[in-house]
């Protein structure tokens, strides 16, 4: 049974994303490495149901009213975060490089009845971050993995006391592990962060700023 706090319009949209993700996973398995790389921007690459649920409940439990998403893709995790933003009377800012993905995500958020709770910014996340003063109460880091460390460095000065930072793909895919390890190392070196690796979905690093 779905938790009663999330309304039917949201579940319909999430189910559509999850059906598309399943089809894409099947297709992905048939692609060679070069074609997979060439077609990467066709894919949702979503955080998945477990991580989406965790993001949603963490944002609600923390009462995170100023939420930032770095890497919206086609909007799957955006829906989970925007639903939490609506519940806590907050707002989500979501950053994405590719305009076509944001266009699709905008339509999906509207279908879910969540358009009023999200502001998309198209362009390089580091450039967008430079223009955002913060502070943020909760941040999802889920863009290309070589950018996790620079994004974390840019974010640090913009976190509210007690802010949560969640980084995806810490365990899977294996190809991301060197970047994931560099990110975890950087977070653990920061004296003002407390951090734990959770085997949820693709593996997430959950960190708290104090
Ligand atoms: C793994 S996907 C995000 C998946 C999304 N969070 C979800 O769960 O549905 C990573 C996204 O980061 C975006 N991205 C990569 N580099 C970026 C950059 N420099 N600035 C903004 N977005 C970027 C990619 O275009 C891609 O859509």
Backbone phi, then psi, for 200, in 5-degree steps? -110, 130
- Parse the chain into domains and list their residue ranges: 8-209
Residue having the nearest C-alpha atom to atom 7 of ligand 1: 46
Q: How many CB atoms lie within 10 A of CB 30?
A: 8
Residue 50 CB burial class (10 angstroms; 0-12, 13-18, ≥19): middle
> How much is the pTM?
0.97
pLDDT at 4 over 80: no
Taking the C-alpha atoms of residue 54 and residue 64, their distance in angstroms, rounded to an integer, is 13
Taking the C-alpha atoms of residue 150 and residue 42, their distance in angstroms, rounded to an integer, is 25
pLDDT at 204 over 80: yes
pLDDT over 70, % of the chain: 98
For residues 153-191, one letter each, b for 16 or more C-beta atoms within 10 angstroms of the residue's C-beta and e for the rest, the string is ebbbebbeeebbbbbbbbbeeeebeebbeebbebbeeee
Dist. CA 96 → ligand 1 center (Å): 6
Angle at 144 between CA 22 and CA 48, to 5 degrees: 30
State which H helix or E strand residue 109 sits in.
helix 99-111
Please tell me the predicted confidence (pLDDT) of residue 82.
Answer: 98
pLDDT at 158 over 90: yes
Query: What mean pLDDT do residues 76-102 have?
Result: 98
Locate the ligand 1 atom nearest the alpha carbon of residue 75 and give its number: 9
pLDDT at 3 over 70: no
Query: What mean pLDDT do residues 175-189 have?
Result: 97
pLDDT confidence band for 88 (50 / 70 / 90):
very high
Please tell me the predicted confidence (pLDDT) of residue 5.
Answer: 82
8-209: which CATH topology? Answer: Rossmann fold (3.40.50)
Using DSSP's 3-state secondary structure scheme, residue 41 falls into helix
Locate the ligand 1 atom nearest the alpha carbon of residue 124 and give its number: 20
Top mutation candidate among 118, 125, 144 for ligand 1, by most atoms within 8 Å of CB: 144
Residues with CB under 6 A from ligand 1: 44-47, 71-73, 76-77, 95-98, 101, 124-125, 142-144, 147
């Amino acid at each position: 049974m779905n938790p009663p706090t999330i309304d039917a319009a949201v579940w319909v949209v999430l189910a559509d994303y999850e059906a598309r993700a399943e089809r894409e996973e099947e297709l992905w398995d048939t692609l060679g490495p070069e074609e997979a790389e060439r077609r990467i921007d066709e894919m949702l690459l979503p955080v998945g149901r477990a991580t989406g649920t965790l993001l949603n409940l963490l944002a609600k439990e923390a009462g995170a009213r100023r939420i930032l998403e770095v890497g919206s893709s086609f909007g799957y995790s955006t829906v989970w975060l925007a639903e939490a933003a609506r519940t806590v009377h907050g707002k989500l800012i979501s950053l994405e490089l590719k305009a076509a993905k944001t266009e699709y995500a905008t339509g999906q958020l509207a279908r879910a009845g969540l358009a009023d709770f999200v502001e998309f910014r198209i362009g390089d996340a580091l450039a967008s971050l430079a223009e955002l003063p913060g502070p943020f109460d909760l941040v999802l880091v889920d863009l290309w993995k070589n950018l996790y460390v620079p994004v974390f460095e840019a974010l640090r000065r913009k976190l509210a006391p007690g802010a949560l930072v969640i980084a995806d793909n810490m365990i899977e895919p294996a190809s991301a592990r060197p970047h994931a390890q560099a990110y975890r190392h950087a977070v653990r070196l920061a004296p003002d962060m407390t951090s734990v690796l959770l085997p949820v979905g693709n593996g997430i690093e959950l960190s708290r700023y104090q």
